[in-house]
């Protein structure tokens, strides 16, 4: 679990750097280079930062779940709350991605970007649904463990 924690911290730090420096700077540069698309600077910045925030929620929730595993408390309502946080972060990111897909899809003259966004939309939907299934499995395992503890 230690290597996973190291990479979670590393990923979280990189995402913070992107949120504060890279993405705002990139979109400011885009606005200077393409004044006809300068109106997209702030919406693109906000959407990108929001998506990274959703990923950060997943990282923190995963960290908390790892702590519950380490403390042998994974089969508890606390674990379900952290899995719910992951599911809702994925749902929120997916809804915003859907909005971006629709916006780009109705304006695009080339099918490349809409197809890429559609692929991402399907991929995030699969990830979200997989987490719903994992939550249901955790709920069943928690119920079974509780029942077994009551019998013993």
Q: What are the pLDDT digits (tens) for 57-94? A: 999 999 999 999 999 999 999 999 999 999 999 999 99
- Whether 108 has a pLDDT exceeding 90, the answer reads yes
Closest C-alpha to 28, from 18, 14, 40: 40
Query: How many residues are present in the chain?
Result: 152
Q: What is the mean pLDDT of residues 3-27?
A: 96
Q: pLDDT tens-digit profile of 113-136? A: 999 999 999 999 999 999 999 999
- Whether 145 has a pLDDT exceeding 90, the answer reads no
- Whether 152 has a pLDDT exceeding 80, the answer reads no
Share of the chain above pLDDT 70, in %: 100
Instruction: Give the model's pLDDT for residue 147.
Output: 83
How far is it, in rounded angstroms, from Cα 108 to Cα 119?
A: 16
Q: What is the mean pLDDT of residues 33-59?
A: 96
Residues 6+ apart with CB under 8 A from 24: 45
Closest C-alpha to 85, from 124, 53, 126: 53
Supply the mean pLDDT for the chain: 96
Instruction: Give the model's pLDDT for residue 40.
Output: 94
CB contact at 8 A, 84 and 135: yes
Looking only at Cα atoms, what is the longest distance across the chain? 71
């Amino acid at each position: 679990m230690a290597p996973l924690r190291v990479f979670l911290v590393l990923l979280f730090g990189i995402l913070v750097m992107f949120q504060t420096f890279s993405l705002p700077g990139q979109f400011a540069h885009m606005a200077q280079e393409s004044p006809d698309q300068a109106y997209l600077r702030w919406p693109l910045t906000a959407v990108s930062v929001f998506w990274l925030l959703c990923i950060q929620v997943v990282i923190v929730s995963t960290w908390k779940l790892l702590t519950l595993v380490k403390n042998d408390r994974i089969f508890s309502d606390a674990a379900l709350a952290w899995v719910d946080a992951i599911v809702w972060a994925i749902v929120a990111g997916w809804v915003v991605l859907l909005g971006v897909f629709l916006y780009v899809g109705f304006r695009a003259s080339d099918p490349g970007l809409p197809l890429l966004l559609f692929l991402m939309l399907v991929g995030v939907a699969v990830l979200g649904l997989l987490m719903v299934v994992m939550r249901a499995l955790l709920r069943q395992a928690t119920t079974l463990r509780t029942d077994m503890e009551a019998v013993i």
